[in-house]
């Protein structure tokens, strides 16, 4: 009888991996592709003093933004907090310690962490405040900053589909930072829309090999309204392309 | 930020003239997003987004939005034939490797030598740089679209930026409601005047040394 690995766990069981003071990476971009059910679980379990690593802080009611709004985050590494005024407020009053990293560099730092590298050489931001406190090296007569790798105690990601081994398939632009974040956690938990038996995914389609994924939970779906749903007809056309 | 809708669209229409067939282009949020409206249909342009699409299309019809298909600003989009999805490392690999022909961005200040400041007003507005530094430093051509002056009437084109920089010597072109400048070899060249402004209007509201092109033209 063939034994197969089954990484699916209950939500209650997943909650044991979250703890106060943990470093947490969340996949997603502006909340798109952020795992809604796991974010709610962290809120329900009263986890606090989180060191959050995320592309951005979403919106106050969307994705990682909820953790900020509920004051669960004490330190943040992100590229952008502009769509979440609550994050800006906490940064100004000193209750949230924020470190900004250029978006592409942040993605690569996470990728480096997930790929077992110590860091990367980057020239993006030379001549700007990004340079501050960075070690520099010359390689082939070019100057680079050393950007250290990022990992986290726990990574949480959202995927469209997973098999029980944890192979992940994403959904359109909800892929974004998820495949990177999935590799960089000491423990990675994937929240998935559809869980299928091992063998039913085409290996050519798999974006994140299941070996990076420790646990899978069934998603309850997005429980927030997107900005464009809240302001139908009145949203700035400058927020979207019409061509 | 004080510019009427018609003026914003005129700036976008002018910027679209810089986009040629076959180009890979990234449009920032704000007026730059409007540029897509003015790219001629017959051109094959691949629009790139930081959140992982190459070949982004226009807005979907009402009711056909997909929460998992959006632009970098979080608004629903569609895709064009030949599009691809990829993760954020690849999205920025495309930028960092210099594969973007044009990026169009907004700015708070631009200096005479093409320095750009567009991500932070210390103590006031601290949104983070997002992808602005990657884009401004690495795209082959960086076009800045902005108001000619701030809300107090102070020039935004200045001798030296007072705000923290996004990039040094990054801008290739500046388009405002009053003028089109080329940034070349550390100099600011006034190439076009936007109707109905005059060269004097531009000179009087610009805080940097301007070289007026002998063949200056008017853009309507």
Condensed to tens digits (0 to 9), the pLDDT of residues B29-54 reads 889 999 999 999 999 999 999 999 99
The band of B123, judged by pLDDT with boundaries at 50, 70 and 90, is confident
Residue B6 tokens, joined: 């018609």
Nearest CA in chain A to B120: A82
Which member of B56, B66, B130 has the closest CB to residue A80?
B130
Q: Which one from B18, B50, B112, B177 is the annotated catalytic residue?
A: B50
Element holding B33 (H helix, E strand): helix B31-34
Please give the span between the terminal C-alpha atoms of chain B, in angstroms, as a whole number: 22
Range of the domain at B207: 5-39+95-219
d(C-alpha A192, C-alpha A27), whole Å: 13
Note whether A147 and A105 are within 8 A (CB). yes
The mean pLDDT of B182-203, rounded to a whole number, is 97
Residue B50 sits at the vertex; the CA angle it makes with B83 and A219, to the nearest 5 degrees, is 85
Nearest partner of B14 among B174, B202, B214, B155, judged by Cα: B174
Task: Give the per-residue pLDDT at B190.
Answer: 98
Which member of A79, A128, A243 has the closest CB to residue B130?
A79
d(C-alpha A178, C-alpha A159), whole Å: 8
Tell me, yes or no, if B50 is annotated catalytic. Answer: yes
The mean pLDDT of B101-130, rounded to a whole number, is 95
What is the per-residue burial (b if ≥16 Cβ within 10 Å, else e) of A200-234?
ebeeeebbbebebbbbbbbbeebebebbbeeeeee
Our CA-based measurement puts residue A170 at a distance from the nearest CA of chain B, in whole angstroms, of 10
Residue A160 tokens, joined: 């469209």
Give me the half-sphere count of Cα atoms (radius 13 Å) on the Cβ side of residue B54: 16
Q: Do B58 and A81 touch (CB under 8 A)?
A: no
Our CA-based measurement puts residue B72 at a distance from the nearest CA of chain A, in whole angstroms, of 8
Condensed to tens digits (0 to 9), the pLDDT of residues B95-110 reads 999 999 999 999 999 9
- Residue B21: Cβ within 10 Å count: 9
- B71 is a domain residue: no
Chain A interface includes B58 (CB < 8 A): yes
Which member of B36, B71, B92 has the closest CB to residue A107?
B92
Our CA-based measurement puts residue A64 at a distance from the nearest CA of chain B, in whole angstroms, of 14
Low-confidence residues in chain A, pLDDT < 70: 1-2, 232-243
Which member of A104, A128, A129 has the closest CB to residue B92?
A104
- B172 is a domain residue: yes
A11-239 folds as: Glutaconate Coenzyme A-transferase (3.40.1080)
Number of separate domains in chain B = 1
Residue B2 tokens, joined: 């004080």
- B134 is a domain residue: yes
Q: Do B58 and A243 touch (CB under 8 A)?
A: yes
Chain A interface includes B145 (CB < 8 A): no
| Domain at B190, CATH number | 3.40.1080.10
Q: Where are the domains of chain A?
A: 11-239
Nearest partner of A110 among A50, A188, A41, judged by Cα: A188
d(C-alpha A179, C-alpha A70), whole Å: 27
Note whether B111 and B161 are within 8 A (CB). yes
- pLDDT-above-70 percentage for chain A: 94
ipTM of this predicted complex?
A: 0.95
Query: Residue A232: its chain B contacts at CB < 8 A?
Result: 62
d(C-alpha A150, C-alpha A171), whole Å: 25
Q: Do A56 and B27 touch (CB under 8 A)?
A: no
* Residues 6+ away with beta carbon under 8 Å from A51: A21, A22, A23, A24, A73, A74, A75, A76, A77, A152
Task: Give the per-residue pLDDT at A243.
Answer: 39
């Amino acid at each position: 009888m063939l034994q197969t690995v089954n990484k699916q766990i209950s939500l209650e069981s997943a909650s044991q991996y979250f703890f106060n003071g943990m470093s947490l990476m969340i996949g997603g971009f502006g909340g798109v592709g952020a795992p809604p059910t796991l974010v709610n679980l962290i809120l329900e379990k009263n986890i606090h003093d989180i060191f959050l690593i995320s592309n951005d802080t979403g919106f106050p009611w969307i994705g990682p933004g909820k953790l900020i709004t509920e004051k669960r985050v004490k330190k943040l590494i992100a590229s952008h907090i502009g769509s979440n005024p609550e994050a800006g407020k906490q940064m100004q009053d000193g209750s949230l310690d924020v470190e900004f990293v250029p978006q592409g560099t942040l993605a690569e730092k996470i990728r480096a962490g997930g790929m077992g590298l110590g860091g990367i050489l980057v020239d993006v931001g030379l001549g700007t405040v990004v340079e501050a406190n960075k070690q520099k090296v010359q390689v082939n007569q070019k100057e680079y900053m050393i950007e250290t790798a990022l990992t986290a105690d726990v990574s949480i990601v959202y995927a469209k589909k997973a098999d029980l081994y944890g192979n992940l398939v994403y959904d359109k632009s909800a892929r974004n930072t998820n495949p990177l974040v999935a590799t960089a956690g000491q423990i990675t938990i994937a929240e998935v829309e559809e869980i299928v038996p091992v063998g039913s995914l085409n290996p050519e389609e798999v974006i994140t090999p299941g070996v990076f994924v420790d646990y899978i939970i069934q998603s309850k779906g997005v429980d927030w309204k997107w900005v464009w749903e809240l302001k139908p007809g009145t949203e700035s056309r400058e927020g979207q392309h019409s061509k | 930020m004080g510019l009427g809708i018609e003026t914003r669209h005129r700036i976008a229409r002018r910027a679209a003239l810089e986009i040629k067939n076959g180009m890979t282009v990234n449009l920032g949020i704000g007026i730059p997003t409007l540029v897509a409206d003015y790219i001629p249909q017959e051109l094959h342009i691949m629009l790139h987004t930081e959140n992982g699409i190459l070949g982004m299309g226009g807005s979907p019809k009402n009711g056909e939005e997909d929460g998992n298909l959006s632009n970098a600003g979080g608004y629903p989009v569609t895709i064009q034939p030949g599009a691809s999805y990829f993760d954020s490392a690849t999205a920025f690999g495309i930028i960092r490797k210099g594969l973007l022909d044009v990026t169009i961005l907004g700015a708070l200040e631009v200096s005479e030598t093409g320095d750009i400041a567009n991500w932070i007003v210390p103590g006031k507005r601290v949104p983070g740089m997002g992808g602005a530094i990657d884009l401004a430093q690495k795209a082959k051509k960086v076009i800045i679209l902005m108001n000619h002056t701030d809300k107090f009437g102070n020039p935004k084109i200045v001798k030296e930026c007072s705000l923290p920089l996004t990039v040094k010597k990054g801008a290739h072109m500046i388009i405002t409601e009053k003028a089109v400048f080329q940034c070349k070899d550390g100099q600011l060249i006034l190439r076009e005047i936007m109707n109905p402004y005059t060269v004097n209007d531009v000179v009087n509201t610009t805080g940097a040394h301007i070289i007026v092109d002998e063949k200056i033209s008017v853009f309507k």
